[in-house]
Structure 1
Amino acid sequence: MQTWTVSAGRLTIRQGDITPLAVDALVNAANSQLAGGGGVDGAIHEAAGTSALQAACQDIIATIGHLPPGEAVITPGFDLPAQHIIHTVGPIWHGGHNNEPATLGNAYRHCLKLAHAHDLGTIAFPAISCGVYGYPVKDAARIALTTLKHGLETHMVTEAIMVLHGRSAYETWIAIAQDVV
């Protein structure tokens, strides 16, 4: 785990499971139907209590139809130690020619804005779009860390935590952070 001071806040990069963190909000790398799935999405649904979280997500989808990539919505954390779950949909990587960088930046930015709007100071993120959506890890890390740094500098949150799966991803994000932060 490594931590940097950014303005009056902190940016932390760690390896492991996001679900046991006692933060104000966990970010879920969701699909556009908020239907649960594999990876982080599945782990968060299971740890939060699948039926309660599914019901909350279905209520949101009944109202908005689907969650577009780059946008975010919030639900309670249910059985998680985190008070809230902020769901965002990252872009699927198509070679970078379909506005993927801007959409990924928006996903992180909208999560920070939603946290700020709900007066949530601590937020934990997975590596959005880096799993089955295929976003190149180095590119995603640079976009995410730049966006989180700006969010901390503008006091959107007091602490942003990146939680990464696997040693290789962790080391990549640390190397990018040395350059960005």
Structure 2
Amino acid sequence: MTTLTLVRGDITRQRADAIVNAANSSLLGGGGVDGAIHRRGGPAILQECRKLRASHYGRGLPTGQAVATTAGALEARWVIHTVGPVYRVATADPSLLASCYRACLRVADELGARTVAFPAISTGAYGWPMDDAARIAVQEVRATVTAVEEVRFVLFDDAAYTAFAERIG
């Protein structure tokens, strides 16, 4: 059974087998969590992302999918990159956000990762409402069969921490 834990803090400072990056489809860095992971992890992450773009993801990583690279200088073995959906009320598709969590856990299992640190995917610049994102994240992680022993939700501020704490109980 997977243990769910909450941490208020900076995901780039987590010691885990894998850290999840809320990436953009280019895989080449960006703002928020994506930019922070690329900055702290160093050039090795970007180098592997460029190789992925050149070989398998020429048009970018599709929303809801996940792929792994080295973690570079981070205190993890891998970074699992996933592209969350952009929230627009008329077209918001919660199944795509749910898919991010399932895909990351599948990649973690393929890697042999036992601890995975997740941010609140799609809640920053992509605008997904925090309460709904927390509900989807916790529900999907609990429903997914995985060998991952600990899923750690690393939440940047008190509002995110509270939203996830209410879902975990």
TM-score bracket for the superposition, by shorter chain length: over 0.9
Alignment pair present for 1:72 and 2:39? no
Aligned pairs for 1:69-108 within 5 A: 69-95=63-89, 97-98=90-91, 100-108=93-101
Aligned pairs for 1:131-170 within 5 A: 131-151=124-144, 154-170=145-161
TM score, norm. by length of structure 2? 0.95
TM score, norm. by length of structure 1? 0.89
Pick from 102, 106, 109: which aligns with 1:109? 102
Q: What do the CA deviations read for 1:83-129 (whole angstroms, capped 9, x no partner)? A: 0000000000011x435200000011000000001111110000000
Q: Which amino acid aligns with 1:55?
A: Q
Pick from 16, 27, 30: which aligns with 1:23? 16
How far, CA to CA, are the matches of 1:79 and 1:119 in structure 2? 20
Q: What do the CA deviations read for 1:123-174 (whole angstroms, capped 9, x no partner)? A: 00000000000001111111100111123xx233110000111111111111
Counterpart for residue 5 of structure 1: none
Counterpart for residue 121 of structure 1: 114
- The answer to whether the 8 Å contact 2:70/2:78 transfers is yes
Structure 2 unaligned runs (5+)? none
- The answer to whether the 8 Å contact 1:113/1:156 transfers is no
Q: What do the CA deviations read for 1:3-27 (whole angstroms, capped 9, x no partner)? A: xxxxx33100111001121111000
How far, CA to CA, are the matches of 2:2 and 2:118 in structure 1? 16
Q: Which runs of 4+ in 1 moved over 6 A?
A: none
Counterpart for residue 45 of structure 2: 53
How far, CA to CA, are the matches of 2:112 and 2:119 in structure 1? 21
Work out the percentage of aligned pairs sharing the same amino acid: 44
Structure 1 unaligned runs (5+)? 1-7
Counterpart for residue 163 of structure 2: 172
